[in-house]
């Protein structure tokens, strides 16, 4: 990867600045980012935007079609669907983002430690990483949730624990590459401590690749929560998540299809936008792939 | 190499494409399925069945209903005990010794005759053998010994007068073949793998094949003692997912499935399927832990009952399929049932008043307190059943409306049941259901020493009534005792009796002669069932 | 090569041991017990008796070592639920899962490789955008939902294909019958992978096409077609083999949901039920077998590398 070497005579932009500039030219990625921003804002403001109490049950008003007071109708408990979509989005996105952050932290820590320390540590950590990559993790995660019960904490832990390995590998490779670069060697010569070099100079180099993995990670986590909801292992009712709303709505698929359509579309759009954005980001970081 | 990969890929694509073409040209699926399933009745089970009636589990129970027989079964109309393997029975004056006359024309599926020795073997070596752990042992634990009088007469002696013995002998109490299992060690009897590969019963259908994860197929037994069944075969298909069951019902692979109220509207649109609201001996409830505050106080229990609009729950969640429960005895047992008991109409004001009287008064935050302690209740429910989940969420709302800081906790059935059975019971309240034998004897559930008394309910007055009921043989006298018991229980409100729900059966209209009762019992009346058209 | 193989086998064995310990710990940490102990009408006394008969009242390490010793002797115990030896059950169900996974994989590759090559040859055209959109669609739709939609459309409404199962029960077990039952689940299980493989094929073919030696080849007058197929695709295959290997564990996991939706008699749906029913021997057995299968196929993939890429040498 030679993208950060400036051509002679041009002003050297920071690698991140260059990436952003390229990203801005990708309309799909920008649009995705906008949609995502809008979605996140909406669910963050749920308590102010939502017209009803998300858990207020009213048996007399169950399964109502859309109306002036319930824009998207009501569910099988007579709860407002729009309200629950907003609150459910908070939960879904929270699960996605939290598990992504945890898995990134884990991945970066393992990858950086392995790459920087080298030797036995490296071999050991990479053995573990490879080992986890070659185990049917989704399957074991499923077992774990079915056995231990699906609390939000378990859910995040299981998703994070099953998705940090790729990041660890990417970061390790990046660390191995940058370790030998001049400015790192210089920093070392100046007497900076190993961890400080790692944190200040080496890890930042891998931020672009980590970001790509992170965006795709969120999409993966949201989808995983949805799949697990199908088996009753997602976010537990009465709390709403898009996953459990979609999964619960399958009972009414042929009678009240609206119940399924809205969470379905939101999951689809969110996952799609995260994928598009992540993909755009990848192209922006590694233009050799995108540009002819 | 490359060409090879390309070739393989092309071949795979061709096979799939071919399959699609075949699918399109082979004609409608229904036709193919119907041909294969001619004169076969199919119903779903959610997991592989184990044809060993010593252990529980719904798939096992269903298959075993048609594979094996019991001494007694229940009438298809009023669920009264009638003979199955036994033709008739009498009780001696000591009120302990029962004599059962057995049918003479019964053969096992391997052709060997069924005799009294099989009965003695099943009861003594299997049901009562502590090394085997029969899951319904509690029902027959009163039996002290079995005597073979002759090949077709057997004497069963109980420890104490036990009026419900015939009913219990019909409840998940399959008789097993002594001539095969007699030589097995207790260890083998716990799980006789060889026998399970080719189980031998006396039921109307004999074992044909079991394909794990797919189905169990039983075929008509020509020498069945009530005559060969009209059906050629019964297939139990392993289908865990309810939506898949619905799709198979619609396309004709399944003839029967049990649906939940949310599915009623879907099934109503299937022209070839009828919906039967089958009564069964059951009730749903919100259980209280009567051993802990605040449920030790009858007024609180009554208030929590008055706070819940059971009519609305019945109408909206059960779609009206059932009736409001008044006690643990089901109206199907018409001779013993009474609704002339204390009623708990929806009345939040009265609930408020009762709670105030009990010393729980509202604080500034709307939550009731007594001696500084908030009235906080966690209501547990099992995951997956829409009706129970919805009930729990709704009851929580009703309780909140009267100042209870109520919450719902949904956990997996196994985890929930294991917690309920922990001693002391760590739960406060939970909503579940009971399916019971068709008899008013509820000692196991509400007697202070009852083995299934999860509510920790103990009341000497009721204990006495239930003991009396069990030892009384005259029907009228028994009915009177149980009327009294129901009155007492309604007033004392050890649990909230919610609903006697009907079992909602979706049945293909091509099926003829199906007994319109709960399908567990209907499966014991399969000889007359046939497939029309 | 032999030394490499031996080292890999030892590593795999260690991995399997670790997996078994983890799953065993999970199983025993789980609240509730086996369903078989929790029948609604079974009293506490029978429950306790059954527990001890199953050996569940023993200390954990005793239970584990007992299990391990059993496994080493080639016996995985008896399923609580089905009452049959775990190995026998798995022996019946594993081939079904392999059939489904192989079909899904074949379908995914059959579509993805051509699609990837075509889009790489003509990037940023309408075709490319359409394929790309389809790919994102493929990875963004929840599997169970997708499956349900196909069932409703192709089985319930159009009545072309059976909604579930593997064969028509009571009918002859023909290949055509299997094929008809296989189409929907294979499409559902294959779609996400199809999308992924297309993306990888596209980017790796594009990367190769830009490389110098291809420019040289083109300059030497080799036609575009021959460049594409001879050089680009061969290199792309290495990427694809890697991705397939990485996806295998996920494919097996995804099979759990697909099989449940389509009532496919495989290991995935079996595992889900076993987990819910706390069928300990079954859970342990399935995990061990699936992990072994995945490890074995990973090993196989590594060997394929050697074949595909002469630059790789193991010693």
Strands B429-435 and B376-382, by their bridges, are: parallel
Average pLDDT, chain C: 82
Number of A/B CB contacts below 8 angstroms equals: 50
Interatomic CA distance for residues A18 and C178, integer angstroms: 54
Decide if C201 contacts C116 (C-beta within 8 A).
yes
Which residues of chain C from 201 to 220 reach within 8 Å of chain A, CB to CB?
Answer: 203, 206-207, 210
Between chains, do A231 and C257 touch, taking CB under 8 Å as contact?
Answer: yes
Q: What is the DSSP letter of B324?
A: E
Q: Does A60 touch chain B (CB under 8 A)?
A: yes
Measure Cα distances from B452 to B7, B283, B302, B439, C104 in Å: 64, 15, 23, 16, 49
Q: Cβ contacts (< 8 Å) between C22 and chain A: which residues?
A: 140
Closest to B503 (Cα-Cα) out of B403, B389, B387: B387
Q: What is the structure's pLDDT at C222?
A: 60
Banded model confidence at residue B8, pLDDT cuts 50, 70, 90: very low
Contacts of A35 (CB under 8 A, 6+ apart): A269, A273
Q: Does A291 touch chain C (CB under 8 A)?
A: no
Between chains, do C49 and B18 touch, taking CB under 8 Å as contact?
Answer: no
Report the chain A residue with the minimal C-alpha distance to residue C28. Answer: A147
Q: What is the structure's pLDDT at B514?
A: 96
- Counted residue by residue, chain B has a size of 533
Contacts of C79 (CB under 8 A, 6+ apart): C85, C86, C89, C274, C279, C281, C282
Between chains, do C275 and A143 touch, taking CB under 8 Å as contact?
Answer: yes
Dump pLDDT digits (tens) for B314-349.
999 999 999 999 999 999 999 999 999 999 999 999
**Which chains border B (3 or more CB–CB pairs < 8 Å)?**
A, C
Res. B14: pLDDT tops 60: no
Percentage of the residues of chain A whose pLDDT score is greater than 90: 10
b/e per residue, B318-349, with b = 16+ CB within 10 A?
bbebbbbbbbbbbbbbeebbbeebbebebebe
Decide if B512 contacts B530 (C-beta within 8 A).
yes
Q: What is the structure's pLDDT at A1?
A: 34
Res. B6: pLDDT tops 50: no
Strands B503-508 and B256-259, by their bridges, are: antiparallel
Q: What is the structure's pLDDT at B360?
A: 94
Interatomic CA distance for residues A257 and A261, integer angstroms: 6
CB atoms within 10 A of CB B220: 19
Q: Sheet containing B361-362: which strands, arranged edge to edge? A: B361-362, B368-370, B373-374
Interatomic CA distance for residues A102 and B65, integer angstroms: 52
Dump pLDDT digits (tens) for B130-140.
888 898 888 89
Interatomic CA distance for residues B282 and B445, integer angstroms: 13
Closest to B284 (Cα-Cα) out of B312, B310, B304: B310
Helix or strand holding residue B285 (H, E): strand B282-288
Decide if B426 contacts B287 (C-beta within 8 A).
no
Q: Cβ contacts (< 8 Å) between B193 and chain C: which residues?
A: 78, 83-85
Banded model confidence at residue B359, pLDDT cuts 50, 70, 90: very high
Report the chain C residue with the minimal C-alpha distance to residue A278. Answer: C136
Q: What is the structure's pLDDT at A15?
A: 65
What does the DSSP assignment read for C167-189? S-TTS---HHHHHHHHHHHHHHH
Q: Report the half-sphere exposure of B147 (CA within 13 A, side-chain side).
A: 7
Dump pLDDT digits (tens) for B476-490.
999 999 999 999 999
Q: Cβ contacts (< 8 Å) between A247 and chain C: which residues?
A: 144
Q: What is the structure's pLDDT at B3?
A: 44
Decide if C197 contacts C187 (C-beta within 8 A).
no
Question: For A75-205, where are the alpha helices, taking DSSP H only?
Answer: 81-117, 119-133, 137-148, 152-161, 165-179, 182-189, 194-197, 203-205
CA angle B445, B450, B451 (to 5 degrees): 95
Interatomic CA distance for residues C111 and C126, integer angstroms: 18
How many angstroms separate the first and last alpha carbons of chain A? 16
Nearest by CB to A140, which of C29, C246, C287? C287
Q: Does A1 touch chain C (CB under 8 A)?
A: no
Q: What is the structure's pLDDT at A51?
A: 81
CB atoms within 10 A of CB C215: 12
Return phi, psi of residue B124, to 5°.
-80, -40
**B341 SS3 class:** coil
Between chains, do B390 and A252 touch, taking CB under 8 Å as contact?
Answer: no
What residue ranges in B151-281 does DSSP mark as E strands? 153-158, 205-211, 215-220, 233-238, 256-259, 273-278
Most A CBs within 10 Å, among C15, C34, C145, to test the A interface: C145
Q: Does A252 touch chain B (CB under 8 A)?
A: yes
Q: What is the DSSP letter of B261?
A: G
Q: Cβ contacts (< 8 Å) between C206 and chain A: which residues?
A: 289
**Which chains border C (3 or more CB–CB pairs < 8 Å)?**
A, B
Interatomic CA distance for residues A45 and B128, integer angstroms: 64
Between chains, do A223 and C19 touch, taking CB under 8 Å as contact?
Answer: no
- Global pTM reads 0.87
The complex scores an ipTM of 0.86
What does the DSSP assignment read for C31-44? SS--GGG--TT--H
Interatomic CA distance for residues C230 and C68, integer angstroms: 50
Interatomic CA distance for residues B65 and B202, integer angstroms: 10
Strands B405-411 and B86-91, by their bridges, are: unpaired
b/e per residue, C248-282, with b = 16+ CB within 10 A?
bbbbbbbbbbbbbbbbbbbbbbbbbbbbbbbbbbb
Res. A221: pLDDT tops 50: yes
Q: Sheet containing B495-501: which strands, arranged edge to edge? A: B322-324, B495-501, B282-288, B429-435, B376-382, B405-411
Omega cis (within 30) before A109: no
Decide if C31 contacts B421 (C-beta within 8 A).
no
Dump pLDDT digits (tens) for B98-121.
999 999 999 999 999 999 999 999
Dump pLDDT digits (tens) for C106-141.
999 999 888 888 888 887 788 888 888 888 888 888
Q: What is the structure's pLDDT at A291?
A: 39
CA distance C27 to chain A (A): 6
Decide if B429 contacts B378 (C-beta within 8 A).
yes
Banded model confidence at residue A216, pLDDT cuts 50, 70, 90: confident
Interatomic CA distance for residues B473 and B158, integer angstroms: 14
Which residues of chain B from 386 to 415 reach within 8 Å of chain C, CB to CB?
Answer: 411-415
CA distance A243 to chain C (A): 9
**C108 SS3 class:** helix
Res. B494: pLDDT tops 70: yes
Interatomic CA distance for residues C92 and C107, integer angstroms: 24
Number of B/C CB contacts below 8 angstroms equals: 246
Nearest by CB to A134, which of C30, C152, C295? C295
Report the chain A residue with the minimal C-alpha distance to residue C34. Answer: A147
Which stretch of A16-20, A115-119, A200-204 has the lowest confidence by average pLDDT? A200-204
Dump pLDDT digits (tens) for B41-88.
999 999 899 999 998 888 999 999 999 999 999 999 889 999 999 999
- DSSP-assigned beta bridge partners for residue B496: B286
Between chains, do B389 and A237 touch, taking CB under 8 Å as contact?
Answer: yes
Cβ burial, residue A257 (10 Å; 0-12/13-18/19+): exposed
Most B CBs within 10 Å, among C163, C236, C239, C268, to test the B interface: C163
Q: What is the mean pLDDT of residues C287-308?
A: 79
Helix or strand holding residue A278 (H, E): helix A258-285
Better-scored residue on pLDDT, A121 or A76: A121
Between chains, do A59 and B383 touch, taking CB under 8 Å as contact?
Answer: no
Decide if C23 contacts C64 (C-beta within 8 A).
no
Measure Cα distances from A256 to A72, A239, A260, B393 in Å: 12, 21, 8, 21
CA distance C65 to chain A (A): 21
Closest to B413 (Cα-Cα) out of C271, A151, C35: C35
Q: Cβ contacts (< 8 Å) between C174 and chain B: which residues?
A: none
Q: What is the structure's pLDDT at B146?
A: 96
Helix or strand holding residue C208 (H, E): helix C175-210
Better-scored residue on pLDDT, A109 or B383: A109
For the CA atoms of B219, B221, B227, B228, the dihedral, rounded to the nearest 10 degrees, stands at: 40
């Amino acid at each position: 990867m030679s993208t950060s070497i400036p051509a002679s005579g041009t002003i050297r932009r920071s690698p991140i600045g260059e990436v952003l500039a390229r990203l801005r030219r990708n309309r799909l990625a920008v649009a995705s980012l906008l949609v995502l921003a809008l979605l996140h804002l909406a669910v963050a403001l749920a308590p102010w935007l939502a017209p009803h109490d998300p858990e207020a049950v009213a048996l007399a008003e169950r399964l109502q079609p859309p109306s002036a007071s319930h824009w998207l109708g009501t569910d099988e408990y007579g709860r407002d669907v729009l309200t629950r979509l907003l609150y459910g989005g908070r939960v879904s996105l929270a699960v996605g983002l939290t598990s992504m952050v945890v898995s990134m932290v884990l991945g970066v820590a393992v990858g950086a430690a392995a790459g920087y320390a080298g030797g036995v540590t490296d071999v050991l950590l990479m053995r573990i990483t490879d080992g986890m990559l070659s185990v049917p993790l989704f399957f074991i995660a499923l077992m774990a949730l079915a056995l231990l019960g699906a609390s939000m904490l378990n859910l995040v832990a299981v998703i994070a624990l099953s998705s940090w390995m790729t990041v660890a590998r990417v970061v390790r490779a990046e660390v191995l590459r940058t370790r030998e670069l001049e400015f790192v060697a210089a920093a070392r010569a100046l007497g900076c401590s190993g961890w400080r070099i790692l944190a200040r100079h080496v890890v930042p180099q891998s931020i672009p690749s980590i970001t790509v993995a992170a965006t795709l990670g969120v999409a993966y986590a949201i989808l995983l929560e949805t799949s697990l909801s199908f088996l009753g292992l997602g976010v537990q009712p009465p709390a709403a998540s898009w996953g459990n709303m979609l999964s619960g709505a399958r009972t009414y698929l042929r009678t009240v299809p609206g119940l399924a359509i809205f969470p379905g579309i939101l999951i689809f759009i969110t996952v799609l936008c995260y994928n598009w954005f992540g993909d755009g980001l990848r192209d922006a970081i590694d233009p050799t792939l995108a540009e002819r | 190499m490359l060409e090879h990969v390309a070739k393989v890929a092309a071949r795979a694509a061709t096979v799939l494409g071919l399959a699609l073409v075949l699918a399109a040209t082979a004609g409608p699926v229904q036709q193919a399925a119907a041909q294969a399933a001619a004169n076969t009745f199919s119903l779903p089970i959610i997991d592989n069945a184990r044809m060993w009636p010593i252990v529980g589990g719904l798939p096992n129970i269903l298959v075993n209903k048609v594979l094996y027989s019991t001494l007694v079964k229940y009438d298809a109309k009023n669920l009264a005990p009638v003979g199955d393997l036994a033709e008739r029975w009498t009780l001696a004056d000591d009120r302990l010794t029962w004599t059962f006359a057995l049918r003479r024309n019964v053969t096992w599926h391997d052709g060997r005759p069924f005799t009294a020795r099989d009965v003695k073997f099943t009861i003594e070596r299997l049901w009562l053998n502590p090394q085997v752990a029969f899951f319904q042992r509690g029902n027959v634990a009163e039996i002290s010994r079995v005597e073979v009088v002759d090949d077709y007469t057997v004497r069963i002696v109980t420890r104490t007068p036990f009026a419900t013995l015939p009913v219990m002998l019909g409840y998940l109490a399959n008789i097993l073949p002594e001539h095969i299992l007699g030589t097995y060690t207790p260890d083998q009897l716990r799980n006789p793998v060889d026998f399970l590969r080719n189980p031998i019963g006396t039921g109307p259908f004999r074992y044909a094949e079991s394909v794990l994860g797919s189905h169990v197929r039983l075929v008509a037994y020509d020498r069945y003692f009530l005559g060969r069944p009209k059906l050629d075969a019964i297939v139990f298909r392993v289908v865990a997912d309810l939506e898949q069951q619905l799709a198979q019902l619609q396309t004709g692979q399944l003839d029967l499935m049990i649906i939940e109220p949310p599915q009623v509207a879907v099934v109503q649109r299937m022209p070839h399927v009828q919906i039967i609201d089958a009564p069964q001996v059951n009730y749903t409830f919100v259980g209280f832990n009567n051993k802990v505050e605040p449920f030790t106080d009858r007024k609180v229990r009554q208030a929590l009952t008055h706070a819940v609009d059971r009519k609305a729950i019945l109408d909206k969640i059960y779609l009206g399929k059932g009736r409001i429960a008044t006690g643990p005895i089901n109206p199907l047992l018409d001779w013993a049932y009474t609704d002339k008991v204390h009623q708990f109409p929806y009345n939040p004001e009265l609930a408020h008043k009762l709670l105030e009287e009990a010393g729980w008064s509202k604080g500034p935050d709307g939550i009731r307190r007594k001696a500084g302690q908030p009235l906080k209740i966690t209501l547990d429910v099992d995951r997956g059943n829409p009706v129970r989940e919805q009930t729990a969420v709704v009851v929580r709302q009703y309780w909140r409306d009267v100042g209870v800081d109520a919450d719902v906790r949904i956990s997996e059935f196994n985890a929930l049941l294991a917690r309920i059975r922990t001693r002391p019971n760590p739960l406060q309240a939970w909503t579940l259901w009971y399916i019971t034998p068709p008899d008013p004897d509820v000692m196991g559930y509400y007697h202070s020493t009852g083995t299934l008394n999860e509510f920790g309910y103990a009341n000497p007055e009721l204990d006495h009534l239930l003991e009396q009921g069990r030892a009384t043989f005259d029907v009228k006298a028994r009915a009177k005792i149980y009327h009294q018991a129901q009155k007492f229980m309604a007033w004392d409100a050890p649990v909230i009796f919610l609903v006697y729900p009907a079992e909602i059966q979706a049945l293909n209209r091509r099926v003829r002669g199906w007994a319109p009762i709960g399908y567990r019992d209907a499966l014991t009346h399969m000889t007359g069932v046939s497939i029309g058209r | 090569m032999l030394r490499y193989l031996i080292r890999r086998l030892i590593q795999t064995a260690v991995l399997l041991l670790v997996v078994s310990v983890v799953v065993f710990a999970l199983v025993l940490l789980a609240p509730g017990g086996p369903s078989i102990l929790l029948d609604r009408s079974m009293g506490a006394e029978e429950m306790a008796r059954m527990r001890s008969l199953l050996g569940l009242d023993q200390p954990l390490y005793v239970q584990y070592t007992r299990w391990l010793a059993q496994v080493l002797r080639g016996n995985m115990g008896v399923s609580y639920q089905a009452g049959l030896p775990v190995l026998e059950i798995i022996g019946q169900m594993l081939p079904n899962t392999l059939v489904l996974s192989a079909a899904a994989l074949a379908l995914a590759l059959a579509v993805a490789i051509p699609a990837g090559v075509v889009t790489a040859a003509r990037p940023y055209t309408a075709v490319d955008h359409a394929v790309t959109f389809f790919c994102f669609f493929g990875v963004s739709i929840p599997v169970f939902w997708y499956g349900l939609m196909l069932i409703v459309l192709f089985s319930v409404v159009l009545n072309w294909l059976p909604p579930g199962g593997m064969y028509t029960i009571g009918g002859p077990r023909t290949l055509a019958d299997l094929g008809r039952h296989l189409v929907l689940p294979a499409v559902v299980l294959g779609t996400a992978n199809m999308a992924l493989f297309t993306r990888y094929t596209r980017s790796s073919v594009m990367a190769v096409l830009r490389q110098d030696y291809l420019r040289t080849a083109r300059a030497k007058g080799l036609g575009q077609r021959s460049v594409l197929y001879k050089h680009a695709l061969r290199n792309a295959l290495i990427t694809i083999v890697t991705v397939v290997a990485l996806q295998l564990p996920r494919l097996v996991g995804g099979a759990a949901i697909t099989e449940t939706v389509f009532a496919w008699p495989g290991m995935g749906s079996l595992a889900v039920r076993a987990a819910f029913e706390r069928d300990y021997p079954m859970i342990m057995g399935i995990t061990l077998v699936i992990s072994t299968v995945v490890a074995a196929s990973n090993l196989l993939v590594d060997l394929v590398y050697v074949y595909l890429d002469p630059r790789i040498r193991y010693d």
